[in-house]
A and B are shown apart, each in its own frame.
Chain A
Amino acid sequence: MNRTAEESHLLRIKNLALEFHTERGVVQALDGVNLAVAKGEVLGLVGESGCGKTVTGRSVLGLIPCPPGRIVRGEIWLDQENLMTLSQENLRSRVRGSRITLVPQDTLGPLNPVHTVGTQMGDILKYKGRSRNGRPNRPGSDHQEILDLLRAVHLPDPDKILAKYPAELSGGQRQRILIAMAFLPRPELIIADEPTTALDVTVQAQILKIFRDLVARDGCSVLFITHDMGVVAAICDRVSVMYAGQIAETAPVRKLFESPRHPYTVKLLDSVPSPEKKEISQIPGTVPTLININKGCRFYDRCPQRLDRCRDHKPGLTQADEDHAVFCHLFG
């Protein structure tokens, strides 16, 4: 990757390593994670539970509880700013909720049960919306903006919705509201943490379409965390596959589906049920615990194509292609 291309990326995570200190030992949750999200791009971050997807998203937002969490090394850059050097105070006032927003997976927890949807959306504009955009505070403009956004997420009767409490709405409706809230302050980056996992397929398909339309409208970047390869295919431009706290492979989405390189990606794609398949294959073994993990490749125990050096030597980055990065000795 040349220098200009790297600088055009809005979010750059460089060599991020993160540990959790627990009673049982040190959990190496992330180990040398490299990610870059370009402006206007949707980057998928896909992997099984416990692989570190959510933790990666949370560290960008500075939301890793410390203790027990500790970022050992690495840098997180948002445009020209190193987020790791910012204080929590600065992160809260200048970044979180304004430049970077989050769409969570759980829809009931993040909404305040004792305030109406309208109050909570109004609060976003009141505290987060204006400072960056520098728009004048025209009376009524906030309200209009909220209504427009609720229509954009296909909620009928937005006026009625604004007067309701979260518990009066269905899961799909709440997820639409949370998406609207994430787009409301016109952020540069949205971290979507499994936003459709708790929803029915029919509603999931609608939500993905809304998401695509809004991203196209606002031109913001998205880090889309999911475990569902089908969702990746539907919404992402590029995708990074994560395994046990490490990035296994990064490629444009079409390339990844058509010619996956890393043995884990191949296996993962094979185990996904799809309408075209009558059978699915399995990955033998289980995900390793991240305490005292072996020094080499973390997929070593389950890999069908492992080599001797995989056990003790951590695979470095190999460019299988100009835009296709693999972390595997098979290609090194």
Chain B
Amino acid sequence: MTSPLLEIRALKRYFPVRSGLLHRITGLLRAVDGVSLEVNAGEVIGIVGESGCGKTTLGKTVQGIYRPTAGEIFLEGKPLSRLPAKDLRRLGLSLQYVHQDPLASFDPWWPMARSLDEPLRAHTDLPWSERMERVVRIVKAVGLDTEHLECFPHELSGGQLRRLTLARVLALNPRVLILDEPTASLDVSVQARILKLLSDLRSEFKLTYVFISHDLRIVRIMCDRVAVMYLGKVVEIGPTEAVLRDPRHPYTRALLAAIPRLSPGEPQDENLLEGEPPSPLFLPQGCRFSSRCPLFQEGLCNASEPALSPIGPGHEAACFRSAELSTSEETVARVGGFGLEKAEKREGSKMRIGESDAS
């Protein structure tokens, strides 16, 4: 068995919360609280969850923007924290993070050509002409033209800026891209084109994606595997199809139930969650989902925290009662089962959207 391209082992990132006159540490915000992941070369792994669940902190810690509180990150089998600075700098280039706000990630006073040239100037010894050659090549690869290089960030649309954020990191020939909400705040038609571009780039440049998103519909389209995060921990992980067809954690189930369906008139799913996630400063006793869980059982769920346990091939969930969530025909009818089975049963007229899709 080959070793994974990127491996995260028991990664933790806490932020101290200071308050009062003396600025003492009064609490710990556990943004990422023990996450282990293996990312194989060439795959796309999705990280989903509500805002504040630690998706972005995870991405930034893996990339090295934040220093991990505990845990280890291995890239190509080498532990990043124990590498000498020179090697880390070189190896780190193959792991790139794409920020979720494209406008904020460019200098407003710089034309795009300068912004895109900057990483090359910092990390390579190429002369200006060769750097520009590479920038132009990459800008064309993301579907833009040289004229866009003369623009300033405010002159470009959201979709164009997305493409340029991708171009900037691609110029460094990375192997792994951490994409933080790559389609946030884009219209659906633009979103569709960015997703297409991402798939094209992936095969063209042989990339591996860590795809951070809050939208399970996009994750289904883009990702081979998916990890569902809740309050800093992975609660369910597995092949996308398996997780979405047979979700074994009540939180995954609730996330699926909350997706608006494209079929008006259908009764709304009963599985909706009440309230919002608790603060990561004060985690609930036992299972962190226990305060919102519809399956909460006194004495079991608030006694200890469930660990990830295997369910199917590559499919793990952290729930004491995950066996009860198995997708029998009856539960599919009750919780919707993500609408997959239901959609297949629907008659012709309703499937119109799906049909045109297949053609």
List A residues at the B interface (Cβ < 8 Å).
Answer: 48-49, 154, 156, 170, 172-173, 200-206, 208-209, 227-234, 236, 253-254, 257-259, 266-283, 286
Contact = CB atoms under 8 A, between A and B. Distances in A.
Contacts of A272: 188, 262
B62 to A, nearest CB: 23
Contact of B216 (A48, A227, A259, A275): A275
B217 interface: yes
B188 A227 contact: yes
Task: Count chain B CB atoms within 10 A of each CB in A154, A205, A228, A286 and give the residue with the most.
Answer: A205
Contacts of B276: 170, 172-173, 202-203
A202 B255 contact: yes
9 contacts: A49-B187, A172-B276, A202-B273, A203-B50, A268-B189, A275-B343, A276-B343, A281-B192, A281-B356
Nearest to B195: A280
Interface string B201-237: 0000000000000111110110000000000000000
Given A154-B274, A253-B264, A205 B189 contact: no
A48 B220 contact: no
A276 B262 contact: yes
B257 interface: yes
Contacts of B357: 270, 277-281
B338 A282 contact: no
Given A202-B273, A279-B221, A282-B192, A274 B262 contact: yes
Contacts of B258: 201-202, 204-205
B241 to A, nearest CB: 9
A215 to B, nearest CB: 14
Give me the 9 closest cross-chain CB pairs, A-B, nearest first: A230-B260, A273-B217, A205-B258, A48-B187, A276-B343, A233-B264, A201-B258, A271-B192, A283-B189
Given A258-B352, A279-B221, A269 B262 contact: yes
Interface residues of B, number: 50
B196 interface: yes
B193 A201 contact: no
B154 interface: no
Nearest to A227: B187
A201 B255 contact: yes
Nearest to B158: A49
A224 B258 CA distance: 19
Given A229-B262, A270-B353, 7 more contacts: A209-B272, A227-B187, A230-B259, A258-B350, A273-B217, A274-B259, A280-B192
A273 B189 contact: no
A233 B244 CA distance: 22
A258 B218 CA distance: 22
B261 A275 contact: yes
Nearest to A285: B189
Contacts of A273: 188, 191-192, 215, 217-218, 220-221
Contact of B50 (A173, A202, A206, A228): A202
A277 B221 contact: yes
Contacts of A206: 272-274
A23 to B, nearest CB: 14
A170 B276 CA distance: 9
Nearest to A267: B189
B188 A275 contact: no
B161 interface: no
A208 B268 CA distance: 10
B260 A231 contact: yes
A96 B338 CA distance: 42
A200 B50 contact: yes
Contacts of B265: 253-254
B338 A258 contact: no
Contact of B260 (A156, A228, A269, A276): A228
B206 to A, nearest CB: 22
Contacts of A172: 276
Nearest to A302: B189
Contacts of A201: 50, 214-216, 255, 258-260
B256 interface: yes
B129 interface: no
A282 B195 CA distance: 10
Tell which of B192, B193, B216, B274 has the most Cβ of chain A within 10 Å: B192
Contacts of B349: 258-259
A80 to B, nearest CB: 32
B195 A275 contact: no
Contacts of B274: 154, 206
A44 to B, nearest CB: 10
A283 B191 CA distance: 10
Interface string B245-281: 0000000001111111111110011001111100000
Given A253-B264, A258-B352, A274-B261, A282 B193 contact: yes
Contacts of B343: 275-276
Contacts of B191: 271, 273
A278 B195 CA distance: 12
Given A201-B259, A206-B272, A234-B261, A48 B354 contact: no
Contact of A233 (B215, B217, B260): B260
Contacts of A258: 349-350, 352
Contact of B356 (A170, A203, A270): A270
A192 to B, nearest CB: 15
B339 interface: yes
A123 to B, nearest CB: 27
Contact of B256 (A48, A267, A275): A275
A48 B189 contact: yes
B340 A254 contact: no
